[in-house]
A and B are shown apart, each in its own frame.
Chain A
Amino acid sequence: QVQLVESGGGVVQPGRSLRLSCAASGFTFISHGMHWVRQAPGKGLEWVAVIWYDGSNKYYAESVKGRFTISRDNSKNMVSLQMNSLRAEDTAIYYCARDGCSGNNCYSGANWIDPWGQGTLVTVSS
């Protein structure tokens, strides 16, 4: 079955960096785009970033552009999120998730999101 397992969360001081990783299994990784979505405590969902199936395109939410970088290693079935210059407002559960569409009939490289990992908590605090 499809599995997405995040790691790398923790407590970090404002201005510092953190790198999240996501190990994927149970599907053809190179066929799907991958997303990061976050959820601040008690709040709704906020899309963070997407990377195309082949890594050729990357897009970010305005709130993280220039600070976060999404990447993938198709040889290891891994996707990562490098987070720099962290702020208190970046505190959230970060979910790794697969783009639900693959193949030539997809509207774009970023579609519905399915499935999601269990999430990893990032707390930015001094």
Chain B
Amino acid sequence: DIQLTQSPSSLSASVGDRVTITCQASQDISIHLNWYQQKPGKAPKLLIHDASNLETGVPSRFSGSGSGTDFTFTISSLQPEDRATYYCQQHHNRPLTFGGGTKVEIK
């Protein structure tokens, strides 16, 4: 199975800060990497698919990049409503696997 290592596991940042989360795959997964946002008590929401494709309606402050084994998710200017846990997920091979999550808090 492909392992996804997310870091950090948690972070605290101020409104307006640039936030970066990384996801490292245990083997080459091309661009088959997706990012989700999960707010407390809610179902996950897809933000980005295939490493860098922003979903319709998702604010442009969210972005993704990377290929192969190393991927980055960025919030360019953190907003209060971005408080959530973020997960990466690969679909290069089955079983689909998720990273451990990054909890983003607002200072």
Contact = CB atoms under 8 A, between A and B. Distances in A.
Interface in B32-75: 32, 34, 36, 38, 43-46, 49-50, 55
Contacts of B87: 44-45
A47 B43 CA distance: 14
A112 B89 contact: yes
B84 to A, nearest CB: 13
Contact of A119 (B1, B43, B50, B99): B43
Contacts of A118: 43
Contacts, number: 68
Contacts of B99: 44
B97 A47 contact: yes
Contacts of B92: 107
Chain B contact patch, size range: 20 to 34
B46 A46 contact: no
B6 to A, nearest CB: 9
A52 B16 CA distance: 42
Given A44-B101, A112-B49, A115-B45, A107 B91 contact: yes
Contacts of A116: 43-45
A117 B43 contact: yes
Contacts of A119: 43
B89 A113 contact: yes
Interface of B: 1, 32, 34, 36, 38, 43-46, 49-50, 55, 87, 89, 91-92, 94-101
Interface of A: 35, 37, 44-47, 50, 59-62, 95, 100, 107-108, 110-119
16 contacts: A37-B44, A44-B87, A45-B38, A45-B89, A59-B95, A61-B95, A95-B44, A100-B49, A108-B94, A111-B91, A112-B34, A112-B46, A113-B34, A113-B44, A114-B45, A117-B43
A-B residue pairs, 7 tightest by C-beta: A114-B46, A116-B43, A112-B49, A47-B96, A112-B34, A45-B98, A111-B91
